[in-house]
Structure 1
Amino acid sequence: MRRRDFLELLTLGTAALALPRPARAAVPAASQLAIGQLEHGGRWNPRPTALRRLQWELAQRTSIETAPEAVPVRAGRPGLHRLPFLYLAGDGAFPPFTEPERAALRRHLQHGGFLLVDSADGSDGGGFDASARRELAALLPASPLLRVAREHVLYKSFYLLDHQGGRLLVKPWLEAQLLDGRLAVLYSQNDLGGAWARGALGEWEYACTPGGEAQRETAFRLGVNVAMYALCTDYKDDAVHLPFILRRRS
């Protein structure tokens, strides 16, 4: 090869190396699960790190692609339809939602949306509990809160669960409001967010009582099941899953 030809090839090769490489395609935001945290007039974000950690756990434990952060959202603002999984938490009483906010949230649930309500203050009959029950009764007046049966598909949507988790164990059951047989609203009084919350240095922010770390793990497993149910509803009730589920229970 002549020296001139060699130098031309060398120049072309160097130029090719200098060209910017095509970037990896970013995962579209629409393909990621971002939990929408509903704002209200009280302490609406009592566990600021909880949903971030839950979304991280979801990504590690399942095939769900999650956003790095939850999305704060007002019930009456645009964009609610982009968030199939909503989360309403609080510490203490909060003022009523406006009628337009209730109407927007009701419409969201009627079109397939899901709402997890989580009491952070351990209240039962007062505080957040009283405000949440008032709002849920106004939100879906034809669908009263009912205990979720242990046999419900929620408890086998990913993990097989037979007890509750959370920072506290105020109630050994969950309550729900149904729309066309589907759990549209799920209510926990056990402060799930308090069990999920983890600080920047990796420390758990709150102790779980009375069950300790096993109770925290159950809270995460319940959170995973809730997310799977919010996205897939009752697919695990199909009879094809029954033999496998019975083998795991035995």
Structure 2
Amino acid sequence: MPRRLLPLLVTLLVLSASLGYAQWRRRNSEGPIYYTEGGDMVDSRTVKTAREIASHSTGTPEWKNPPEFSRDVFTFVRIIRDRDPYGSPSSGSWITDFPDSDLNLSFRLQQMTSIKVNPDGRVLRLTDPELFRYPFIYMVEPGALMLRDEEVEILRRYLLNGGFLMVDDFWGEWQWEGFAEQMKRVFPDREFTELPMSHEIFHCVFDLGTEKNKLQTPNERLGSMSKYSGVTWERHVQKDGGYEECTEMHVRALYDDKGRIMVLATHNCDNGDAWEREGEDDYFFHEFSEKRGFPLGINIIFYVMTH
């Protein structure tokens, strides 16, 4: 491919992805009915597991645990949450990458570690009484997160009582500010800390001995084209209407008083696509799913469950 065509091709890919995503996001700006990226309807009032919803990618693996492990398993829990209509317009809803990312990561976690994993996953709101049964919860695209008043207190209790929240797939300063503002409602006196690459979380199962930007994953379209363009970051709208090139990946943690990580934010990174779309493109799988998204996700869960 002539080098002079690469910038144009990348621009067209970004615009195409943005337009398609904007149309999908408009359908998911309000509940209780949401739609997966494959067009399947999901009722947020009744959905319980990721297994109930059809795959919109290349299918999801199935497995069973021995009966004696039926209760002693790790469960990937996705949180259903509201979206601030005045937040970043490029920030999506709770259903992004669902259900494929949840089930694919759950399978890889069981495959690559000794942890037994729930083959169905869970989906719930913070107000669900079952929340405190699960030590790990996940929010996707929290850049326009809007917590209800009752959820603020529940999330604070959950985290201080040993729970852990991972947030992923949000880009740029506007989306970071939107998320951080909501977390200030939960913990007004706590600040996020950037994790150095020497932290154990990057080395506990897979030794991710590289610079942080080498762990960055964009959406699958840009990732698949990165073998030509070299671009592993996304462009997102700013408050002033311009666009920000979100080149620097961040992994930021919020600690409790004993030094335990309560919240981990992978910012300027889309691990969810690495988990969700592992089977769609060979280059994307080997470069992003295999080298970045799965190792980082597995390390995070393993570290949380052992600390």
> TM (normalized to structure 2)?
0.60
Partner of 1:88, secondary structure, is strand
AA partner of residue 163 (structure 2): G
1:195·1:207 contact (CA, 8 Å) conserved in 2? no
AA partner of residue 289 (structure 2): R
Deviations 1:129-177 (A, max 9, x none): 3332222222222221110122211112211113324235443330110
RMSD between superposed Cα atoms in Å: 2.4
2:69·2:116 contact (CA, 8 Å) conserved in 1? no
Partner of 2:172, secondary structure, is coil
Whole-Å Cα distance in 1 between the matches of residues 109 and 78 of structure 2? 17
- The structure with the largest alpha-carbon Rg is 1
1:188 matched to 2:266? yes
TM-superposed deviation, 1:125: 1.7
Whole-Å Cα distance in 1 between the matches of residues 301 and 203 of structure 2? 12
Deviations 1:106-144 (A, max 9, x none): 111111111100125xx21224x3332222222222221
1:139 matched to 2:183? no
Name which of structure 1's ranges 100-109 and 212-221 shifts more when overlaid on structure 2. 212-221
* Structure 1 alignment gaps of length 5 or more: 1-23, 234-250
1:112·1:184 contact (CA, 8 Å) conserved in 2? yes
Deviations 1:32-57 (A, max 9, x none): 11111111123102111111110000
Residue 56 to residue 131, structure 1, CA distance change in 2 (3 Å): same
Q: How many residues align?
A: 200
Match of 1:215 among 270, 288, 302: 288
Match of 2:162 among 102, 105, 112: 112
> TM (normalized to structure 1)?
0.72
Structural mapping, 1:1-250, within 5 Å:
26-42=67-83, 43-48=93-98, 49-90=100-141, 93-94=144-145, 96-120=146-170, 123-127=171-175, 129-162=176-209, 163=212, 164-167=215-218, 168-169=232-233, 170=246, 171-179=248-256, 180-189=258-267, 190-198=269-277, 202-203=279-280, 213-217=286-290, 218-233=292-307
AA partner of residue 159 (structure 2): L
TM-superposed deviation, 1:80: 0.8
Name which of structure 1's ranges 48-57 and 161-170 shifts more when overlaid on structure 2. 161-170
Residue 177 to residue 25, structure 1, CA distance change in 2 (3 Å): closer
1:53·1:198 contact (CA, 8 Å) conserved in 2? no
Percent sequence identity is 25
TM-superposed deviation, 1:25: 6.3
List 4+ stretches of structure 1 deviating above 6 A: none
Whole-Å Cα distance in 1 between the matches of residues 162 and 198 of structure 2? 22
Deviations 1:46-87 (A, max 9, x none): 111111110000011001111113211111220111111110
